[in-house]
């Protein structure tokens, strides 16, 4: 059986205005709309398309987070994934810890491809996919804008500063999805109802033997500084003088 493993992270919806907790300990999420990380949703869509073309027989979605993250996994099942696994952890995890948890599932499921979003919109670390490939000792192709399977290898097109770069790597491999890879499908009501009957396994992080202890200490959170009010200048000399006064020239 050829399996694709897809990571889905629960994040605050991109259209929600972010607020910091009064004590500065993090982002306030109480009553805030949560959703699948947009890049992870793109990764799932690509996995489903590969399966529909006959390149895989099963798509498994994996989430790491609290019990509430089952909602995002159910959405992934409604999109078309075959089954889901939630690694339950109430505390936020660093990318390396997440990669180690994913590695345990990779060793259990033996996927042909692991598809992840290139980064999560809450922390923008862009590290988990690369760390997983290193721990798994398998090839990686990041920022994929096109994926083409060819037997036991895959050709991945990446957008780089100079244009496009094409890589051909052996499978199994880790691939991370960029924004232009595809446009995720809409979920229909009948698919949402069917998703309730699909298997969703819950595993405690401790049962995987992964140490959740953080390696970095976050001292505090704060909103960005308010932007200074702009000024009007009458001519170019006035602009130059204003820039010099602000130390920009």
**Beta strand 34-36 with 10-12: parallel, antiparallel or unpaired?**
antiparallel
Which of 132, 170, 128 is closest to 151 using CA atoms?
170
CA distances from 67 to 82, 91, 98, 105, 180 (A): 20, 12, 16, 18, 31
- Residue 217 confidence (pLDDT) above 90: no
pLDDT, position 224:
81
Domain ranges of the chain: 3-245
pLDDT band at 24 (very low <50, low <70, confident <90, very high): confident
Q: Across all residues in the chain, what is the average pLDDT?
A: 92
| Candidates 3.40.50.150, 2.60.40.10, 3.40.630.10, 3.40.50.620; CATH matching 3-245 | 3.40.50.620
Give the tens place of pLDDT for each residue, 2-19: 999 999 999 999 888 888
**Averaged pLDDT for residues 69-92:** 95
Instruction: Tell me the pTM.
Output: 0.87
Q: Please give the Cα distance from 125 to 127 (Å, whole number).
A: 5
pLDDT band at 160 (very low <50, low <70, confident <90, very high): confident
């Amino acid at each position: 059986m050829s399996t694709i493993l897809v990571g889905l992270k629960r994040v605050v919806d991109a259209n929600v205005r972010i607020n910091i907790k009064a004590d500065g300990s993090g982002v306030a999420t109480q009553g805030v709309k949560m959703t699948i990380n947009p890049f992870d949703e793109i990764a799932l869509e690509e996995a489903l398309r590969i399966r529909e073309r006959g390149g895989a027989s099963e798509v498994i979605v994996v989430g790491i987070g609290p019990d509430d993250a089952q909602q995002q996994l159910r959405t992934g099942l409604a999109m078309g994934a075959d089954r889901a696994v939630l690694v339950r952890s109430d505390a936020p995890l660093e990318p390396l810890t997440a990669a180690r948890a994913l590695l345990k599932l990779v060793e259990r499921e033996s996927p042909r491809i692991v598809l992840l979003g290139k980064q999560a919109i809450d922390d923008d670390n862009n590290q988990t996919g690369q760390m997983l490939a290193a721990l798994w000792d398998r090839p990686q192709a990041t920022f994929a804008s096109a994926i083409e399977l060819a037997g036991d290898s895959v050709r991945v097109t990446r957008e780089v500063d100079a244009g496009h770069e094409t890589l051909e790597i052996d499978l199994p491999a880790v691939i991370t999805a960029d924004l232009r890879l595809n446009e995720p499908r809409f979920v229909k009501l009948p698919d949402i109802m069917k998703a309730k009957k699909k298997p969703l396994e819950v595993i405690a992080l401790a049962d995987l033997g992964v140490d959740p202890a953080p390696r970095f200490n976050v001292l505090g959170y704060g909103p960005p500084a308010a932007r200074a009010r702009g000024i009007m200048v009458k001519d170019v000399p006035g602009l130059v003088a204003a820039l010099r006064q602000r130390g920009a020239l």
